[in-house]
Amino acid sequence: MDDHIELPFQSHLDQILHGREDRLLPVAGSRRLAARIPGSQLVELDRVGHEFRLSQLGRFLEPLRTHLEAVRGAPL
């Protein structure tokens, strides 16, 4: 992951979901990205790689739903 790109989308509304078993893009890159976005939230998903199976969909949807409820009504 290129740590030298400009991030125009920096806001408290950012959430990053990343599988801990991702061998294509290691989770360390998402950790660095989250550290550069003030107020962002990084969710590391256990037993999830680069691509997820439909049977794993709940692992993505639950943190996403919680995040969307938390930022509902926040200014963009």
pLDDT at residue 7, as a whole number? 62
User: Which residues lie across from 45 on neighbouring strands?
Assistant: 19
Give me the pLDDT at residue 54, please: 83
What are the extents of the domains in the chain? Answer: 15-71
Task: Compute the average pLDDT of residues 41-68.
Answer: 89
Calculate mean pLDDT across residues 42-52: 91
Residue 65: pLDDT band (50, 70, 90) is very high
The residue that leads in pLDDT, 62 or 6, is 62
Instruction: Round the CA-based radius of gyration of the chain to a whole number and report it.
Output: 13
